Amino acid sequence: MADMLKKVTVQVPATSANCGPGFDCLGLACTLYNRFTYERVPEAEGIQVEAEGQGGESLPQGRNNLAAEAFCILWEKLGKPATGLRISTRIEVPVSRGLGSSSTAIVAGLTAANALAGSPLSKEELVTEATRIEGHPDNVAPAILGGITVNVMEEGKVESLKLALARPLQLVVLVPSIPLPTSKARAALPQEVPHKDAVYNVSRAALLVGSLLTGDYHFLRTALEDRLHQPYRLPLIPGAEEALEGARQAGAYNGIISGAGSTLLAYVPAEGDARKVGEAMAAPFRKRNIETALHVLDIDPEGARVIEIQ
């Protein structure tokens, strides 16, 4: 190991998939982060994982840990010599809440392996590698690229178009203390939807992308509406419908379910009162004795990045 890099620290942003009407194709990165340090150690020491922060004590150990598994997959694919690993994680992205927690682990592993191997893969190539592990690109693409991404699967490869906002927005993110596993949220969806609902979503997804690129944010009230997943998932989150209506009443353009939930996310004018919006979103949960955490975030423009390498 003497001639190779041994240690790298990677920061990966939380992500919010779907962005309302863009089911399984739109995603954004936001300014909430998990940080991972990977240190190569002798193979005989195996894989050791330490995590601090929310949910850290319940994460799997050894290669069963997603952050370790992703590293090993790419490391072996690049033909590098077998190695042990010591992985330390600082968790800020809540688990099973629709903010891409598992994607941060996958992206961290791939970014770390790529960096320690001398960065042979581009970010775009890492998106395809991450999608092979995750199964779909709507979280991993913005986690790697940053910004807002439009993601399409074409013949086994991912095409991700990164968008930059025309002007600033605030994201008010409300995280209820109720986990909602993606498997349960997926199970709530119908196998088929009416043609008119598909047309409804196509038109709004197009309007959403257009409004974000032009800065005509008054369209967001309509553009963030959805009929493919939110009507089926909102009943799984007690208080969510009231919270989204409260966000609109308090000055948000509109609010949505983040990913599969249970997190709710409101798009708020840059000059708006984010705390007022957050309070309005939290009130229906408080009434039900459900604790919440509030974050006022921006869109992360950069995606996963190497903080330190040696």
Query: Which tens digits make up the pLDDT trace of 157-208?
Result: 899 999 999 999 999 999 999 988 888 888 999 999 999 999 999 999 999 9
Backbone angles phi, psi at 27, to 5 degrees: -160, 155
How far is CA 105 from its chain centroid? 11
Distance CA 33, CA 307 (A): 12
| Domains of the chain by residue range | 7-164+300-309, 169-297
Give me the pLDDT at residue 22, please.
Answer: 96
Is the distance from CB of 305 to CB of 11 less than 8 angstroms?
yes
Nearest to 237 by CA among 296, 187, 175: 175
Q: Is pLDDT of 55 > 90?
A: no
Give me the pLDDT at residue 1, please.
Answer: 43
CATH class of 7-164+300-309: alpha beta
The mean pLDDT value of the chain amounts to 94
Q: Is pLDDT of 2 > 50?
A: no
Q: What is the dihedral of CA 306, 9, 100, 137, to 10 degrees?
A: 40
Distance CA 16, CA 93 (A): 11
169-297, superfamily in CATH? GHMP kinase, C-terminal domain (3.30.70.890)
Tokens standing for residue 180: 């909602």
Q: How many CA atoms lie within 13 Å of 70's alpha carbon, on the beta-carbon side?
A: 29
Backbone angles phi, psi at 176, to 5 degrees: -75, 155
Is the distance from CB of 247 to CB of 255 less than 8 angstroms?
yes
Tell me, yes or no, if the two domains 7-164+300-309 and 169-297 fold the same way: no
As beta bridge partners, residue 211 has none
Backbone angles phi, psi at 127, to 5 degrees: -60, -45
Q: Which region among 18-22, 35-39, 93-97 has the lowest average model confidence (pLDDT)?
A: 93-97
